[in-house]
Amino acid sequence: MTGARGAVRVPWWRDNSLTLVFGVLLLGALAGQALSGAGAYNQSARTAGYAEVGVLEYLASSQFAVDVAENWQSEFLQFTLYIVLTVWLVQCGSAESKQLRDAGRGEDQVQLVGVAARPDSPRWARAGGWRTRVYSHSLSVAMGAVFLASWIVQALTGCVAANEERMRDRLDPVSLWEYLCQPDFWNRTLQNWQSELLAIGTMAAFTIYLRERGSPESKPVGAPHAWTGSQS
């Protein structure tokens, strides 16, 4: 498809292919989790002599919600920490780090804010004052808010799921605070946190010495190991 001057117009889906593919993969993973989770739930229900549930019923259950929220909160914690820590912390030779001399928030001229903003810069980047300050931290605020919301959902739905199990075992329910103080809650939470921190830490370290041609997460194949970030 070409424009009036013969320039090639890239289809909308091609410009957004990365987000679209990850969206499709996410939906596929959620569907697979729902099917396998319902199967596992019904297997346990048959063993215990309880009624089985359909996939849609399982999707609306607290058990499915807590499993999803538990994964989401650890992912968003990982990226919130990485976004904030990489403002000040660097790793020599890593493609995931700024160059060593660039540690810190950066000058207005580099960040294209205030009087240094471009005509096509976002409105709040050009506005100055509190709006630019807010916009300057909008990514970490948004990621942190999703983490906090996911963690709250995990806590609430996890408490409901735990009380459902306690009711089947003819035990008294626990309050949200009592549930949050249980070792099982923190054992599951910290298992997720340590795996995410390990993954992103090794990603930063592996890019010092390893390459993936054409990936923006990698340095050029022939770049020296000491090159850091987008150094060229």
Q: Is residue 205 predicted with pLDDT exceeding 80?
A: yes
Give the end of a domain, one of 60, 75, 104: 60
Domains contained in the chain, number: 2
pLDDT given for residue 45 in this prediction = 84
* Residue 224 CA, distance from chain mean position: 30
Q: Is residue 135 very low, low, confident or very high in pLDDT (cuts 50, 70, 90)?
A: very high
State whether 130 and 120 are in the same domain.
yes
Integer Cα distance of 24 and 179 in angstroms: 34
* pLDDT, mean of residues 123-127: 91
Tell me, what amino acid is at 184?
D
Structural domain of 27: 1-60
pLDDT given for residue 179 in this prediction = 93
Number of separate helices (H) and strands (E) present in the chain: 10, 0
State whether 73 and 48 are in the same domain.
no
pTM listed for this prediction: 0.85
Give the end of a domain, one of 35, 60, 85: 60
State whether 71 and 176 are in the same domain.
yes
CB within 8 Å of 105: residues ≥ 6 apart = 87, 111, 136
State whether 78 and 4 are in the same domain.
no
